[in-house]
Amino acid sequence: MPAKSKAQQQAAGAALAAKRGDKKAGALKGASKSMAKSMSTRELKDMASTKTKSKPKHVSDK
């Protein structure tokens, strides 16, 4: 599942780093914290590796 925004891609990257042990899980906040708990390493890797060139910074919920 590719990321829909740059913010989502960065959150996935932070969650992936925590899952791999490169970053402390306690340092995660917000979306990256819930992503680390609910997504597999493979899903996070797919989302974090999304190209961000044409992605918006944020996507509204609507």
Domain that holds residue 29: 6-48
Q: Tell me whether residue 17 is in a domain.
A: yes
Give tens-digit pLDDT for 1-11.
Answer: 788 888 889 99
pTM of the model: 0.80
Q: What is the pLDDT of residue 61?
A: 66
Length of the chain: 62
Q: How many domains does the chain have?
A: 1
CB 36 within 8 A of CB 18: yes
Q: What is the pLDDT of residue 62?
A: 58
Give tens-digit pLDDT for 19-54.
Answer: 998 989 888 999 899 999 999 999 999 999 988 787
10 Å CB burial of residue 4 (0-12, 13-18, 19+) is: middle
d(CA 29, CA 60): 19
d(CA 8, CA 58): 8
d(CA 40, CA 19): 9
